[in-house]
Amino acid sequence: MRPDPAAPHGAAFAEGRRLRAAAQRRRARHEARMEAHLARIEIHRARHMRRIARRRAHRRPPVAVAFVVLLVASAVAGGAALTIASVIAMMIAVAAITGPALIVAGTAVALTRRSRRRRAVAAGTAPLPARPAAPPRPEAVWAKARERFTALRAEYAAFECDPMQVLHRPALADVSVGSTGRFVDAFAEAQALETDSFPPGQHATNFVSAVDRAERAWRAAVEAADRIRLSGLSPAERATVERVIKLLTTARDSDSDPERLAAYARARNELGKLDRAGVIHLPRTAEAALDEAARGALPA
């Protein structure tokens, strides 16, 4: 039996998921410890503020009582000057009583806000101060566009070298389809502007814009090909394409060399008829890949 080529990738993906899950658990434990630590600090601060408030409350009432007694005495005596002095004294007493309370309340609010801010920082959700973002360097923008174009070229090449993909998305290999023709033009423009090193002047900007257009055109062409599929073919042509797909699947999965060879030969013959009839436009790279697979199926 041939080894499964997808097994190493599956193991790598499983190991990646395990490492991500472990990292998430460590982060959750760290955040829980930070929350508990901040909660303990908040409890100690609240207790301290309550003790301060109680001490000041016990200290201030005798002064307030004295001012109240003075105010009552002035009212009984009826002296205007004494009454005015008593009112002023009462205002001072009220300020003396409520002032510490306001200070305590303001301090508690400030500490609560600071505690919330610290918790937000520990959780990684605190809003960062607004700073104007520095514009990216032209060299970095060009290098990123070149990476994107390399990935796009690899995806396009993988499609053109895979006969099965061409059979499932024939419109993506047919430049007479509008979306495919626009992509081919945009791809050719970006490829013509690509350079190995950062170009001077407007060349880099033109290349970045061309890559953007090529990516958008590729996505549109793929979506259109997925919608069209085999809908533009007659029932007999669709039956032929589906028969070729089954033959290629048999040739790929069979353990019998004679069976694989016969399946590849029949599939190649049917594809030749479809190509000559203009039903399926098989790229040369796909033809070469099919011929190479058929030669590899021959017994040694």
Q: Can you tell me the distance from the alpha carbon of 77 to that of 89, in angstroms, rounded to the nearest whole number? A: 16
Q: Which of 4-18, 70-84, 200-214 has the highest mean pLDDT?
A: 200-214
Q: Do residues 229 and 169 lie in contact, with contact meaning Cβ atoms separated by under 8 Å?
A: yes
Does the pLDDT value for residue 100 go beyond 60? no
Contacts of 40 (CB under 8 A, 6+ apart): none
SS3 75: helix
CA 212, CA 186: separation in Å to the nearest integer? 9
- 144-173 residue pLDDT tens: 999 999 999 999 999 999 999 999 999 999
Q: Indicate if the pLDDT at residue 113 is higher than 90.
A: no
Q: What is the reported pTM? A: 0.55
pLDDT at 115 > cutoff 60? yes
Contacts of 269 (CB under 8 A, 6+ apart): none
The pLDDT tens digits for 272-288 are 888 888 888 889 999 88
